[in-house]
Structures are given as C-alpha cells and as structure tokens.
Chains A and B, each alone.
Chain A
Amino acid sequence: MKSNSARLPLARWCGYAILALFAIISLGPILIAVKTAVSDSKTLFSSASSFLPQDPTLFNLQRVLGWANPADPRMERMSYGKIDFFRALINSVIFTLLAVVPQIAFSAMAAYAFARLQFLGRRLIFFLFLSATMIPGIVLFIPNFVLIKDLGWLNTYQGMAAPYALMTPFAVFFLRQMFLSTPRELEECARIDGASYISIFFRIVLPFHRSALATLTIIASLSAWNEFFWPFLVGRSESVRVMAVAINAFRQQQAGGTPDWSGLMACTVLGMLPIFVLLLLFGRKVVESFQSAGPK
C-alpha cells in the first residue's frame, strides 16, 4: 500500500507552503524592524515596501545608545524624543539578574522540601502556591504597589525585583515536578552514608537536574527581560527603568506627531538582541524549554 505522502503529494506541498508562510509571518516583522533600525529616517517613505534598507547606517543604533557624535548634522533632525537606551538595557540586565537568580535558588529549595521532606502543612502550602498562579496580576499589583511605596522602594531595583526574587509559583511547581523524578536510590544511599538533606540537595539533587534548572533559567530570564506591567508601575524613573518601560516612554513622548520610527526600531532591535543571541547559541535548548512548559 502506498503511503499517505505518496498518495497526496499536492497536500504535502500545500503543507510545506503553509509552514513557509507562517515562518515568513513570524520573522517578517522582525526583519522589517531591523531594516528600519539601520535606515536613515529620510528614506523611510521611499523604502516603505522593501525588505532591504537604502543606504544602511548604524547611526540610529548609536543615537539611541547615546554613542552618536552630538555634532553630527543628523542629530539636528532628532528634535523629538530623547532616550538613553543604554541605561535601559543595563537596567534590564540588573532587573533580570536580581529577579531570576534568587528566585531559582529559593524556589529550588522549596521545591525540594515539597518533593522530598515531611513537614506539617506540606500539602496545604503547596496547594496555596499552585492556586496563586490563577490570581490575575492586577489584583496583586495594587496592594503590592502600596507595599513597595510604603517601604520607600518606588523607583529602586529592589522594589522592582522583590515580588519575583523569593519565589514564583511556576518555578516552585516546575522544579517540584522535576525533583520528584530523582531516583530514590541515589538519595537513600547518601542518606545511609550519613549525608544531611542540605548536602543531598547540593551534591545530588541540583547536579542531577542541571538540565531542568537550565530550562527554568531560560524561561524565567526571558519573562523577566520582557516584563512590563510591574516595572512600569514601580520603576518609571529614567535611572532604573527597564527596556520595555523605556521603549513605551519613548513612544509616548512622540504621541502627537510622526513617531521617530528609526529610533524606535533601533530600540526594539537592541531589546530583542539577547533573544537572537540565545536562539543562535542554544536554539534547540530554548525550543525544548518552552515545549516543556506545557502540561505534564
């Protein structure tokens, strides 16, 4: 009997065509952004429907990073929005590190306790942690904003990172699922040899689940890097605001006239840069990480 594909070459080719179309739809806008970022703003109209820039230039990227020569005649035309995007990128790095590193460490500890240790109220606490994933962000943002304000932490890194730094329900849930799969024999042997839970955790459990920890690091870092709403509420001042908040502010500065598209796109390309780097270096791992974010 012939196989499906041999029977239906047409259907197969249609399938390839659809996949190709969606690949183009996925990447097209990103290419247009890159094109715009390296175009002189004067050529935007004439090159509107093209995928390639006329007279490519790095001027926009230098300009939003604050690296352009102020005496450059092209700076004259840039009367509208000003942005120090270099500062914003640094702030994003700091925010991401502060939010993610302790989050994973503390979530891993809690996940280990939920997976392997006995204590009163374990099931109840775990259930509460899980239920927290159902709460809409806005419900928590209002009281959390008040708390951060009362602490005097508005417009500080600690205020922006605090709600993510000690745990996120997802991180605890994800790692607990993983830790449950640690071979019991490994842990029990160590236990018989007199190892404490702390040393089992550090010497056996964490190294055994390196891959899961990498997966979680990728997911948590990307979501911190892309975070907007909370940093927008508590970290608006220029000295601490992150990439997404800065792009939004830059765009709102020019709400009246024609936006500074080449500047905006330069910012978006810089904001996407870590994602491209991550995909180029660890493409397979990134894809697998997000695939594993589904139901288990």
Chain B
Amino acid sequence: MSDRKPSPISPIPRAIPREPIRPAFLGGLFYKDSVCAWIFIAPALIGFTVFYLVPCIRAVHISLTDWNLLRLPKFVGFQNYIRLWADQRFWNAMRVTVLYVLYNIPIQTVIGLLLASLLDRIGRSVLLRSIILTPYLIANVIAAILWFWMLDPLLGFINALLHSVGFQSIPFFSDQRLALPTIAAVNIWRHMGFVALLFYTGMQGIPRSLYEAARIEGAGPWQSFWNITLPLLRPTLVFVLVTSIIGSFQIFDSIAVTTLGGPVDSTRSIVWYIYESSFENYKMGYASAMSCVLFLCLTVVTIAQMRILRSGQSELG
C-alpha cells in the first residue's frame, strides 16, 4: 500500500465539532483577535494555497490541455478524457490496481485483527508492539528492496529455504502471475503491524465489563470477538479501511524499485502509469486527466465505504 502518501496518518474528514464561543474570552476586541488569528494562520494558509488548493485546480486545468512541458499548453477540452476511455492500457492499469487492493486489504485487515486480539488478550508488552511496528517504520523503498533480496531466485533466503526442502526456486518478481501478489505481500508485511496497533488501540477502549458479562453468559472467546469486539471496533475499522484503501490505490514506490510495471504490464498500477505518462513521456495533460479520474474514483469509493459502514456510530453511542 503505500505507497499511501499521507498514509497512515491521514485523518478522515469528519464533521467538525462546534465548540461554544465564550463571549468573555472574545473580549470586546474582535478586530484585534482576528488580526492575531490571521497572523497565526498565514504561513499555513499560504502553504495550503500554493501546494494544495491551486495545484488541485491547476490539475483539472492541465487535464483539459495537450501539453508536453516544452510548448505552451493547448486547450483541447475533454479530449484527454475521451482518449482515456478508449485506452486499453488505462483500463489495464485500473484492473491491476483494483486487483492489488483486493489482494492487499482483506488479508492485511484479517492479520491486523488477529494480531490486535492476541495483543489485547495475552500480550500487552511494549516490546512486542514495537517489534511488529518496525516494518512500518521502514521506508517503502527499503521494504521493497529487502524483499527483492529475500525473494531473489538465485541467492535469496526464501528460495534457499525452498531449495533445502526440495522445491524449485520461484521467480516471485519476474513471473507475470506472481509479481502483483508478491508486491501486495510485501506491503502487507510493512503495514500489518501498524494496522494491528490501530485495532489494538481501538480494542483498549472497549469496556472490560462487557467481556466479563459475556463470559458469565457462557460466551467463548470467538463469540465475544464477533458480538462485542467487532461491532464496538467499527469506528477504528472504518478509519483503517478508508485510509488503507486510499493508500493502496496509490501503490507506486514498491513498483518503482522492483518491477517497473512489468513483467508484461502485470504490475502497471494506475499511479505508475500516470507517472510514466507524465514524467517519462511528458504527456502532462493526459496524465492529469488520469489523476483526476483516480481522485474521482477514490472519492466515490470513500463515500460508499462511509455509507456502508456507517462510520462514526459506535454501538456504545
């Protein structure tokens, strides 16, 4: 996944809590207050405008032009979007990306839940938590290179193990069918501990008395997981799913260091294809059009998820 940029940490926009305004606190000097506020907010607002707001609008604008960075951009209307609709490679990139998300998210979520429940029930040591968090603290590039080495067909550790128990070595990254699942596995490795920690934190907030009551009623650990933990964990679950799916859709770093989109387009994800179109073939307009479509898709996916999972509502109220 992450290649998930602001990844882990990107909070989902939620309703902003309205805090009461205390007239006494305002004093009579509304004007002075507001000057002070603008001074405080100015640097961040400039940064936001220059590097987020304007680029966002500019991306839409570039997507309506034909531009190779050298000539002046030529306005072409929706032509890039029309071309994109007929572009086989675009659809392939979308297919690869969705497939990647489907490999990545369910396994990562299940492993995260499993680890979190175990940490919650039997192993609350900081040492253990820092061990499983370690892969997440490593750069994507390093994680990818690490596994590229582990899985090297000639000298890699995993293939040496496979050999010693009598198997053939497997060309994980250079096999057309295996490359994408392999990249997904590397990213599951990197993210599982972090996801587990987020779930674990969520589980810490569930009142112990509920488990106690369930146990007295005769529920086993499995039943209490399904009937207590999972429903009460929903806000965390929504947060993790939404952010990790957004991140997963943007898989790039691990592809850039290992397969470069190959073999035979099998790992040409959408962000990798946009990168190739813009920074290698200088089709800025076309690439921007694809990035805007990606943005739109992610927005739809996110809204759909929030609806389906009814975020924010915990059974605890």
Chain A residues lying within 8 Å of B76, measured Cβ to Cβ, are none
Shortest C-beta distance, B20 to chain A (Å), equals 10
The answer to whether A16 and B164 touch (CB under 8 A), given A106-B47, A170-B11, is: no
Chain A residues lying within 8 Å of B100, measured Cβ to Cβ, are none
Do residues B8 and A293 form an inter-chain contact, with CB atoms below 8 A?
Answer: yes
Chain A residues lying within 8 Å of B75, measured Cβ to Cβ, are none
A95 interfacial contact with B, CB 8 Å: no
Chain B at the A interface: SS class: helix
Do residues B138 and A136 form an inter-chain contact, with CB atoms below 8 A?
Answer: no
Out of B16, B137, B271, which one reaches A286, CB within 8 Å?
A: B137
Chain A residues lying within 8 Å of B72, measured Cβ to Cβ, are none
A287 interfacial contact with B, CB 8 Å: yes
Q: How far is the CA of A114 from the CA of B163 in the complex (A)?
A: 60
List A113-140 residues whose CB lies under 8 Å from chain B. Answer: 113-114, 117-120, 122-123, 125-140
Chain A residues lying within 8 Å of B91, measured Cβ to Cβ, are none
Partner-contacting stretch, out of A57-65, A71-79, A225-233: A225-233
Q: How far is the CA of A134 from the CA of B302 in the complex (A)?
A: 9
Chain A residues lying within 8 Å of B40, measured Cβ to Cβ, are 109-110, 112-113, 117, 197, 201
Shortest C-beta distance, A282 to chain B (Å), equals 10
Chain B residues lying within 8 Å of A26, measured Cβ to Cβ, are 131-132, 134-135, 189, 193
Chain B residues lying within 8 Å of A180, measured Cβ to Cβ, are 17, 19
List A1-38 residues whose CB lies under 8 Å from chain B. Answer: 1, 4-5, 8, 11-12, 15-16, 18-19, 22-23, 25-27, 29-30, 32-33, 36
List B1-44 residues whose CB lies under 8 Å from chain A. Answer: 3, 5-6, 8-14, 16-17, 19, 21-22, 24-27, 30, 33-34, 36-38, 40-41, 43-44
Q: How far is the CA of A271 from the CA of B58 in the complex (A)?
A: 35
Do residues A295 and B11 form an inter-chain contact, with CB atoms below 8 A?
Answer: yes
B129 interfacial contact with A, CB 8 Å: yes
Q: How far is the CA of A112 from the CA of B278 in the complex (A)?
A: 39
Chain B residues lying within 8 Å of A132, measured Cβ to Cβ, are 48, 52-53, 56
The answer to whether A19 and B215 touch (CB under 8 A), given A106-B47, A139-B292, A291-B201, is: no
The answer to whether A166 and B43 touch (CB under 8 A), given A49-B160, A248-B257, is: yes
Do residues B134 and A275 form an inter-chain contact, with CB atoms below 8 A?
Answer: yes
Q: How far is the CA of A97 from the CA of B157 in the complex (A)?
A: 36
**Nearest-neighbor residue (CB-CB) of A35 within chain B:** B157
List B210-261 residues whose CB lies under 8 Å from chain A. Answer: 215-216, 221, 235-236, 238-240, 246, 249-250, 252-253, 256-257
Partner-contacting stretch, out of B82-90, B101-109, B120-128: B120-128
Q: How far is the CA of A197 from the CA of B35 in the complex (A)?
A: 11
Having A19-B128, A251-B145, one finds 17 other A-B pairs with CB under 8 Å, namely A15-B118, A26-B189, A49-B161, A49-B163, A117-B40, A120-B34, A131-B13, A133-B10, A138-B275, A144-B55, A165-B47, A219-B9, A226-B137, A226-B141, A247-B141, A283-B127, A294-B240
A to B CB contacts below 8 Å, 11 in the list:
A44-B155, A119-B38, A129-B44, A136-B5, A137-B5, A139-B59, A169-B6, A174-B11, A264-B149, A290-B133, A291-B200
* B contacts, CB < 8 Å to A: 3, 5-6, 8-14, 16-17, 19, 21-22, 24-27, 30, 33-34, 36-38, 40-41, 43-48, 50-56, 58-59, 62, 69, 111, 114-115, 118-119, 121-123, 126-142, 145-150, 152, 154-157, 159-161, 163-164, 189, 192-194, 197-198, 200-202, 215-216, 221, 235-236, 238-240, 246, 249-250, 252-253, 256-257, 271, 274-275, 278-279, 284, 287-288, 291-292, 294-295, 298-299, 302
A-B pairs, 6 with minimum CB distance: A166-B47, A110-B44, A226-B139, A48-B160, A49-B160, A143-B55
* A contacts, CB < 8 Å to B: 1, 4-5, 8, 11-12, 15-16, 18-19, 22-23, 25-27, 29-30, 32-33, 36, 44-45, 48-49, 102, 106-107, 109-110, 112-114, 117-120, 122-123, 125-140, 142-147, 149, 162-163, 165-170, 172-174, 180, 184, 187-188, 191, 196-198, 201, 219, 222-223, 225-229, 232-233, 243-244, 247-248, 251, 258-259, 261, 264-265, 268, 271-272, 275, 278-279, 283-284, 286-287, 290-295
